[in-house]
Chains A and B, each alone.
Chain A
Amino acid sequence: GDSVTQMEGPVTLSEEAFLTINCTYTATGYPSLFWYVQYPGEGLQLLLKATKADDKGSNKGFEATYRKETTSFHLEKGSVQVSDSAVYFCAFTGANSKLTFGKGITLSVRP
């Protein structure tokens, strides 16, 4: 069935380090792909998205490219900040229009 697999966490990085969070999906058809972020004590908010193969979503220095051949949507940022500490969720909407989430990964950035 439809599913999202994210790398295991938590992840702890020093400020200005490079970030990669892996995400792969299993879905029928041509899903839209998303990264949502949840800051401490808050609800989820959209970080970026891509709707077709080879599209790159970007926001706040984060990027992810829709790779249909590897069914992946890895999140990257060249230089993380303390304010990026949050939980990151990879997700997709498939043929049934339902948003399916990965397990989420907690990122902690230390000064």
Chain B
Amino acid sequence: DTAVSQTPKYLVTQMGNDKSIKCEQNLGHDTMYWYKQDSKKFLKIMFSYNNKELIINETVPNRFSPKSPDKAHLNLHINSLELGDSAVYFCASSQNPRLAGETQYFGPGTRLLVL
């Protein structure tokens, strides 16, 4: 059983299109995250939700909009895709990020290529 799953695994699309990436966790966690990993493998947090409420919103273009229909799902919608959006997007979850040593569990990633 996959703990954190993402769909699709690969996404190739044209500039200007709108696309969504879905994430689901079956760990019963309250907090979910989206990270972006660039071509040099650098990871940066984009958003975090706790029980469907946005708690972290880094400096991300407003073309990116997270949506959490329930605490087990956190989807990422991207409008007007640009070449620079090409990256690997990782979803993650944890139970309580305020606890010392709290582990985050990552999904397998979605490889987005904008042409």
Are these two chains actual partners, yes or no? yes
Q: Which residue of B lies closest to A57 (CB)?
A: B101
Q: Does A43 contact B (CB under 8 A)?
A: yes
Contact, CB under 8 Å: A98 / B42:
no
Contact, CB under 8 Å: B41 / A87:
yes
Complex: A87 Cα to B101 Cα, angstroms: 21
Number of residues on chain B facing chain A (CB within 8 A): 24
Within 8 A of A (CB), among B68-115: 90, 92, 97-98, 100-109
Contact, CB under 8 Å: B107 / A43:
yes
List, in ascending order, chain B residues with CB within 8 A of A36's CB.
106
| B interface, over-half SS | loop
Contact, CB under 8 Å: A46 / B90:
no
Contact, CB under 8 Å: A32 / B42:
no
Contact, CB under 8 Å: B97 / A93:
yes
Contact, CB under 8 Å: B42 / A104:
yes
Complex: A49 Cα to B41 Cα, angstroms: 21
Contact, CB under 8 Å: A44 / B101:
no
Contact with B along A16-36 (1 / 0, CB 8 A): 000000000000000010101
Complex: A104 Cα to B42 Cα, angstroms: 7
Contact, CB under 8 Å: A32 / B102:
yes
What is the interface of chain A, defined by CB distance below 8 A to chain B? 32, 34, 36, 38, 42-46, 49-52, 87, 89, 93, 97-99, 101, 103-104, 106
- Could you give 25 example pairs across A and B, Cβ below 8 Å? A32-B101, A32-B102, A34-B103, A36-B106, A38-B41, A42-B109, A43-B4, A43-B108, A44-B43, A44-B92, A45-B106, A46-B105, A49-B101, A49-B103, A50-B101, A51-B101, A52-B100, A87-B41, A89-B43, A97-B102, A98-B97, A99-B104, A101-B42, A103-B40, A104-B41
